[in-house]
Amino acid sequence: EAGARIGLSYAGEVLHKRVMPLAQEIGCDFVEQCDVTQDEQIDAVFEKAVQHFGKVDVLIHAVAFATREDLGGRFVDISREGFKNTLDISAYSLIALAKRAEPLMKEGGSIMCLTYYASEKVMPKYNAMAVAKAALETITRYLAVELGPQNIRVNAISAGPIKTLSAAGIPGFRTMLKLSEKVTPLRALVTQDDVGDLALFLASDAAKMITGETIHIDAG
């Protein structure tokens, strides 16, 4: 609606069936598979993006993964392999994507990622993902400093609880959702549209002096 040409990527066939209806709804003709743990797949999707778009102005990092075992249970029981996978997919991938996007943002650009309040305070059962989100916010600040001279801004959006596919994997999420509506100052839940509005602002010239920030959108 704001005039952007949008490209989408997905990891694996399971998510393909969820992404395609969205692509059709918004008239997106660029949909590519991209497993962010595979450098060759990241390279391939950016090469195709150059051929398709010519350049990239905005990059949205909306990637996170942790096994159910590493979300529930005791924090000290997080597996070594699960920890590494969670950090690789949920945090390091922002570095890998920003590295490929930088040369395509010749006129500057905006990079965004999605984080959560568990990066700052202990949230029961969030475990490995909380560590990943804390790492993601630190990466956001470091990238903001490094890419700033190229007029590339990097920010993190920290949204309140929203009923999404990812949220469904968090133990006790329904209870959190009910309580949030009762205790937030605005007595309301954040919607996907609310987050979209913030992302649109950060993508626009109206946010040209905002970088390295974690911006909370959580009804207070």
Half-sphere exposure of 219 (CA within 13 A, CB side): 18
Bridge partners, residue 108, by sequence:
106
Catalytic residue among 92, 116, 117, 142: 116
Is 116 a known active-site residue?
yes
Tokens representing residue 115 in the block:
């984080």
Is 126 a known active-site residue?
yes
Collapsing DSSP to helix, strand or coil, 140 comes out as helix
Query: CA of 107: how far to CAs of 58, 190, 198, in Å?
Result: 11, 33, 22
Q: Which of 61, 54, 154 is nearest to 104 (CA)?
A: 54
Helix axis angle, 127-147 to 80-87, nearest 10°:
30
Catalytic residue among 10, 92, 117, 126: 126
Bridge partners, residue 126, by sequence:
none
User: For residues 167 and 165, what is the distance between their CA atoms, to the nearest angstrom?
Assistant: 6
What share of residues in the chain are helix, strand, coil (percent, to 5)?
Answer: 55, 15, 35
| Active-site residue list | 116, 126
